[in-house]
Amino acid sequence: MLALVTGAAGFIGSHLVDRLLADGHEVIGVDDLSSGGTVRPGLELWEMDVGDPALAERAAARRPEVVCHLAAQVSVRASVADPAADARTNVLGTVNVLEAARAADARKVVFTSSCAVYGVPDALPVPPDAELRPASPYAASKVSGEVYAATYKALYGIDYTTLTLANVYGPRQTPEGEAGVISIFTDALLAGRPTRVYGDGSHTRDYVYVLDVVDAFARAAGEGGGGLRLNVGTGVQTTDRELHTLVAEAAGAPDDPEFAPPRLGDLPAMSVDPRATREALGWAPGTGLREGLAETVAWARERMAPA
């Protein structure tokens, strides 16, 4: 199969490229290298903006069967500061990628959403059919991208699956990402710098390992999960304080964070229910947090080591 992966040089996209190539597929990547810079061996990279109208023409010439759309403006804070710029990449960019899928006569689009779309939910873990309550322009743009994907299915019969990702972590993540807290703690603890927990440390997140996430994408690129929103997370909540302890343990560093006032707009708790994803795709998060953190810290240690 020929797959087109947008955001292919990013944290998650670069792992997805590895996975698809290892499965024997051909992969074209689309990335403007604005935040990602990991171009994997064997990848045919089209260095361009996802909003570039030339994308449809190029896709029509190569006719990828599946389009995995991961390129995005990924920062909630940046989306609040400049909602129009966020929408240009995440809404108009997504429409342009869907146009490219149409021009290529693609079978399926796998759209990348975020658990931010659930806002402050009524209950945890959030099921995928919970009410959507976007509380940032970033979350609104992800809701919108999913609605457009559904529209293209209705209009043109291009199938889609929306994968709603919890907080993804693992090797190649940089501290700027949506779930940057693990890389921030890791880098600081390995370098012996102080670490900071905002609030009293009781906020929770659902941490899912990047290789498990790309396994969900590889499965969604098949026949299953058509027309569905599926959660990609563990259903487990980890508090900020617990997370610090686990990263410190993995890094062999003291577990002694500073505490700072809570940050405005931070959601108090999140975890997503992955049971429907298991039913639709046979997917389950196989990597425990301790195991995933050990891999992540080992990667960061190697990266920081003098050459």
Ligand X SMILES: NC(=O)c1ccc[n+]([C@@H]2O[C@H](COP(=O)([O-])OP(=O)(O)OC[C@H]3O[C@@H](n4cnc5c(N)ncnc54)[C@H](O)[C@@H]3O)[C@@H](O)[C@H]2O)c1
Known catalytic residues are 138
Q: Say if strands 66-69 and 207-209 run parallel, antiparallel, or are unpaired.
A: unpaired
Q: Say if strands 204-205 and 2-6 run parallel, antiparallel, or are unpaired.
A: unpaired
Task: Please give the angle made by the CA atoms of 76, 79 and 83, to the nearest 5 degrees.
Answer: 155
Q: Which residues pair with 230 in a beta bridge?
A: 163
Q: Does residue 177 interact with ligand X by CB under 6 A?
A: yes
Site for ligand X in 179-208 (CB under 6 A): 179
Binding test (CB under 6 A) with ligand X, winner from 18, 27, 28, 31: 31
Q: Does residue 167 interact with ligand X by CB under 6 A?
A: yes
User: Which own/partner contact pairs does 117-121 have at CB distance under 8 Å and 24+ positions apart?
Assistant: 117/142, 117/143, 117/146, 117/164, 118/164, 118/270, 118/272, 119/267, 120/267, 120/268, 121/270
Distance from the Cα of residue 87 to its chain's centroid: 17
Site for ligand X in 78-107 (CB under 6 A): 89, 93
Q: Which stretch binds ligand X (CB under 6 A): 4-12, 153-161, 188-196, 247-255?
A: 4-12
Neighbours of 291 (CB within 10 A): 12
Binding test (CB under 6 A) with ligand X, winner from 59, 67, 68, 71: 71
* Smaller CB separation from ligand X, 152 or 209: 209
Q: Which two tokens stand for residue 297?
A: 């810290």
Smallest gap from residue 164 Cβ to ligand X (A):
8
Binding test (CB under 6 A) with ligand X, winner from 3, 4, 28, 32: 32
Q: Does residue 178 interact with ligand X by CB under 6 A?
A: yes
Binding test (CB under 6 A) with ligand X, winner from 12, 59, 139, 158: 12
Q: Does residue 145 interact with ligand X by CB under 6 A?
A: no
Cβ-count burial 191-212 (b if 16+ within 10 Å, e if not): eeeebebbeeeebbbbbbbbbb
Residue among 271, 204, 182 at smallest CA distance from 234: 271
Q: Exposed/middle/buried for 26, CB within 10 Å: 0-12, 13-18, 19+?
A: middle
Q: Say if strands 238-239 and 204-205 run parallel, antiparallel, or are unpaired.
A: antiparallel
* Smaller CB separation from ligand X, 142 or 253: 142
Q: Does residue 137 interact with ligand X by CB under 6 A?
A: no
Smallest gap from residue 6 Cβ to ligand X (A):
6
| Phi (first) and psi of residue 198, to 5 degrees | -90, 135
Smallest gap from residue 89 Cβ to ligand X (A):
4
Binding test (CB under 6 A) with ligand X, winner from 79, 94, 96, 112: 112
Q: Does residue 248 interact with ligand X by CB under 6 A?
A: no
Count of residues interacting with ligand X (CB under 6 A) = 30
Q: Does residue 33 interact with ligand X by CB under 6 A?
A: yes
Footprint of ligand X (CB under 6 A): 7, 9-13, 31-36, 49-51, 70-74, 89, 93, 112, 114, 165, 167-168, 177-179
